[in-house]
Amino acid sequence: MSDLSLAGRTARPTARNLTLQLGVATLARIFLNTARRFAYPFAPALSRGLGVPLTAITSLVAVNQVTGVLGPVFGPLGDRWGYRRMMLAGLAMLAVGMSLGGLLPMYGTVMLALFLAGMGKSVFDPAVQAYAGERVPYQRRGLAIGVMEFAWAGSSLLGIPLAGLLIDRLGWRSPFLVLGGLGLLGTVALWSLMPGDGRRRQERDRASGLQIWRRLSGERAVLGAWGFGLLLSVANDNLFVVYGAWLEDAFGLSTVALGTATLVIGAAELLGEGLTASLADRIGLKRAIMAGLALSAMSYALLPQVGRTLPLALAGLFVTFLTFEFTIVTAFSLFTEILPGARATMISSVAAATSVGRVIGALIGGPVWLAGGLAATGIVSAAITGLALACLSWGLRGWREGHEKEA
């Protein structure tokens, strides 16, 4: 990546420095993702530790999820104030929130802790993706974003299991304290590694937040990206919220065995991110996204047919989540280039659309499952993914980037 080098204090960093910066940022994202997700599997332990009903913990999880919709508030701030500042602010929220949750073990402070962790992720993620988009050439954008997205699979394969070990050995408060400390370390590391970007801010869109949003809503490519993000997430969560019920009902799996299925999904996510990093730039981001959408729709449609035995069911889930992860990560790689002057705003707006899509998918998943079982789930998810393909194809019609291979 020697082509990343440029002379000058505020110019592009050398390839080695940039790799180190993005590597530390990826570790920080693992901390943020773990803080965002660990309450799901360990809700019973938190319930017992706080002395509250399990439903009270699920309410905490819901509060955590709402923060994803607030991302667009912070995207324009990143474009105006600087991506480094927003990354540091996001990690500071993680450090403060998790530390409070561990040091003051009360329901209100734990709610605040999870809210700040979710908010920190909503602030950090668009900023770090925009930072990479601003510094990594488009020809290697898929590699950069794909590697950074290892943080999502890393939280399920490493972060959450380690949180479980901490809870088992040291009590339910220990993950809060450890994540708070790691958030502080990450803040100090990024502060020392990442340069200020005052000169770069002059190259970005300096319009007000309202003016930027008006511009976004008038861009065909942006509208297509929003529809794509929303529909793709609806399709995925329509399956995600019921796959455990399907495996339990069809194969009589225990809770422990269902945990194994979660590992299968984590492995699929990891491979999907790896495929984005290794293949997407070679075949062109647009072409890769369209192929991923087509394969994703096929995997949903075929899952009820192939999932007649447990090994085939797990294999079908693996392929389904692999194609979804490859598609969404590759798409975000491309979205960093749609509005170069307002990258963080663009990324945060699509992330908000995916959050809304997850809510809709979770709401329809149960009724669809009850109405027609896995067959209905597969058909509905396949159809919605087909709509996502049509939406993005419409949005990107005529859109070109200088280094993108023709789709």
pLDDT digits 0-9 by tens, 274-291: 999 899 989 999 999 999
pLDDT score for 89: 94
Count of H-run helices and E-run strands, the chain: 19, 0
- The model carries a pTM of 0.78
Taking residues 60-77, report their average pLDDT.
Answer: 73
- Looking at the structure, do residues 109 and 63 belong to the same domain, yes or no? yes
Co-location of 110 and 193 in the same domain? yes
Q: Which residues 6+ apart lie within 8 Å of 1 measured at CB?
A: 15, 18, 19, 136, 140
Do 214 and 187 lie in one domain? The reply is no
3-state secondary structure (DSSP) of residue 318: helix
192 and 145 in a common domain: yes
Instruction: Give a yes or no: residue 60 inside a domain.
Output: yes
Taking a C-beta distance cutoff of 8 angstroms, is the pair 68, 355 a contact?
yes
Where does a domain end: 201, 228, 252? Answer: 201
Query: What CATH number does the domain containing 269 carry?
Result: 1.20.1250.20
Is the confidence at residue 293, as pLDDT, over 70?
A: yes
207, pLDDT greater than 80: no
Residue 15's contacts (CB-CB under 8 Å, 6 or more residues apart) are: 1, 2, 4, 5
107 in the same domain as 241: no
Return the closest-CA partner of residue 124 out of 62, 77, 63: 77
406 is a domain residue: no
Domain total of the chain: 2
What pLDDT score was predicted for residue 30? 94
Q: What is the pLDDT of residues 122-156, one digit of tens each?
A: 899 888 988 888 888 888 888 888 888 888 888 87
Of residues 88 and 252, the one with the higher pLDDT is 88
- Are 143 and 258 members of one domain? no
Are residues 196 and 215 part of one domain? Answer: no
Rounded CA separation 401/229 (Å): 21
Range of the domain at 115: 2-201
Q: Tell me the CA distances in angstroms from 242 to 33, 65, 249, 300, 378, one per residue in order.
A: 22, 18, 10, 13, 11
The share of the chain scoring above pLDDT 90, in percent, equals 41
Who has greater pLDDT, 263 or 378? 378
Contact 69, 147 (CB under 8 A): no
Among 78-92, 151-165, 300-314, top mean pLDDT goes to: 300-314
Same domain, yes or no: 192 and 234: no
In-domain check, residue 402: no
Place 209 in a pLDDT band, splitting at 50, 70 and 90. Answer: low
Average the pLDDT over 196-201 and give the result.
Answer: 56
